[in-house]
A and B are shown apart, each in its own frame.
Chain A
Amino acid sequence: MAKVSMTVNGKAVSGEVEGRTLLSTFLREGLGLTGTHIGCDTSQCGACTVHVDGKQVKSCAMFAAEADGAEVRTIEGMANADGSLSVIQQAFQDHHGLQCGFCTPGMVMAAASLLADNPKPTEAEVRHHLEGNMCRCTGYHNIVKAVLAASGQDAGQIAAE
């Protein structure tokens, strides 16, 4: 066991981990932050997406000890300080960008990293960026709409088939 310390959603945290402890396991079981979902555990689905030092990563494909000293952000850190939904989260709700909600934490984290890098993405750029995030419910159109709306663009033309 080794001690790891990191900042998660602005709060300093630490814990004992084994070499094999995944970042996703540390967040969910060590810190009780179960908003980070495990859909596949095989690097395919993106449900476990979090930000490490501002970059989106699959937390099931990184060891907790590799995040020692890092700034980590999870879905629990996305709402506004007063508890209201952030612009991206609100856009998912407004545009029906979720159904069961299982993929949503990963989608929101991926969308946030896209918009941080590229504040006005095109529809094609949104789709390209979300390639690693699977959704089994929505058919993606409303997710793309939500991300475009969150960027302040008119999402009206995207077909909601």
Chain B
Amino acid sequence: MHNFELVKPSTIAEAVAALGQEGAQALSGGQTLIPTMKQRLNMPDMLVSLTGIAEMKGVCKGDGGLHIGAATQHAVVAKEAAAAYPALAKLAGGIGDPAVRNRGTIGGSLANNDPSACYPAAALASGATIVTNQRSIAADDYFQGMFATALEEGEIITEIRFPIPEKAAYLKFEQPASRFALTGVFVAKYPSGVRVAVTGASNDGVFRWAEAEAALSANFAPSALESLSLSGEGMIADLHGSGDYRAHLAKVLTKRAVLAAS
């Protein structure tokens, strides 16, 4: 790994100032970044640690529903979101393994936007708001393809606000070696309608399945999905599964998520 300087600011303002320097990059839980640095896919001159910033940590209820600080670890969300938003807490408790959950953070996951990550499905299906040091971004505008987001250079996520649904569930078909989603589906039912987000399937990253949303908004039952199908075109095809397989999984998981939603 190339060497770098590690700085540990204690406020968002200090972090943003440090990130303004040439070659600086944010470090949150490091569960994605450190392995990529070992492979020299990433060679920052300076890492700005976000995990010591108190204003970026914690779970609480607010105007936007459930507000979660971006530097909050998965294990904390799994515990502290359990009463207000059980489906989200369950998703957090199913990420990777206990050690990954003790370090990895929600902000790091959303900033990375891995096409097989879990949190992007929750944020998109919940119509969450991604709050940064500069602005608020609707989840619908935030995810812009595999590993691509609306974040600008030096911009950091500070908080994520999740409107709390009437019912929701996340079902993940695990890739058994990594425990990432081979395909995962988050279904959330709001008074305004149902939202369905699929991760681990498309080459463009997480996406909303509009036909399923319309069908489920009219009738929130697995049978409403019977006549629908997703195309395998544009889906990820790798040694774990073909595009058609993932398209099929997405439908099966959507049905199961509707059944599991509570």
A binding-site residues for B, Cβ under 8 Å: 2, 18-20, 22, 41-44, 46, 49, 55-58, 61-63, 65-66, 110, 113-114, 129, 131-133
B binding-site residues for A, Cβ under 8 Å: 1-6, 8, 30-31, 34-35, 37-38, 47, 49, 51, 75, 96-100, 102-103, 177, 179
9 A-B residue pairings within 8 Å (CB atoms): A2-B6, A43-B35, A55-B75, A58-B99, A62-B30, A62-B34, A63-B6, A114-B98, A133-B97
Which 10 pairs across A and B sit closest by C-beta, in order of nearness? A132-B97, A19-B6, A55-B102, A19-B4, A131-B97, A20-B1, A58-B99, A65-B6, A20-B3, A61-B34
Is B99 a contact of A66 with CB atoms below 8 Å? no
How far does the alpha carbon of A57 sit from the alpha carbon of B34 in the complex, in Å?
A: 13
B97 to chain A, nearest CB (A): 3
How far does the alpha carbon of A138 sit from the alpha carbon of B126 in the complex, in Å?
A: 43
Is B4 a contact of A20 with CB atoms below 8 Å? yes
For the residues of A in contact with B, the DSSP-based class is: mixed
Is A61 a contact of B3 with CB atoms below 8 Å? no
A139 to chain B, nearest CB (A): 16
Known contacts A55-B102, A129-B98; A43/B6 CB under 8 A: no
B35 to chain A, nearest CB (A): 5
B187 to chain A, nearest CB (A): 23
Across-interface contacts of B98 in A (CB, < 8 A): 56, 110, 113-114, 129, 131-132
Is A61 a contact of B6 with CB atoms below 8 Å? no
Across-interface contacts of A43 in B (CB, < 8 A): 31, 34-35, 100
Nearest opposing residue in chain B for A41, CB measure: B38
From A2, A19, A22, A46, B99 is in contact (CB under 8 Å) with A46
Is A66 a contact of B49 with CB atoms below 8 Å? yes
How far does the alpha carbon of A132 sit from the alpha carbon of B5 in the complex, in Å?
A: 30
Known contacts A46-B99, A132-B97; A61/B5 CB under 8 A: no
A57 to chain B, nearest CB (A): 5
How far does the alpha carbon of A20 sit from the alpha carbon of B37 in the complex, in Å?
A: 9
A160 to chain B, nearest CB (A): 23
How far does the alpha carbon of A57 sit from the alpha carbon of B29 in the complex, in Å?
A: 11
Across-interface contacts of A131 in B (CB, < 8 A): 97-98, 179
Is A61 a contact of B102 with CB atoms below 8 Å? no
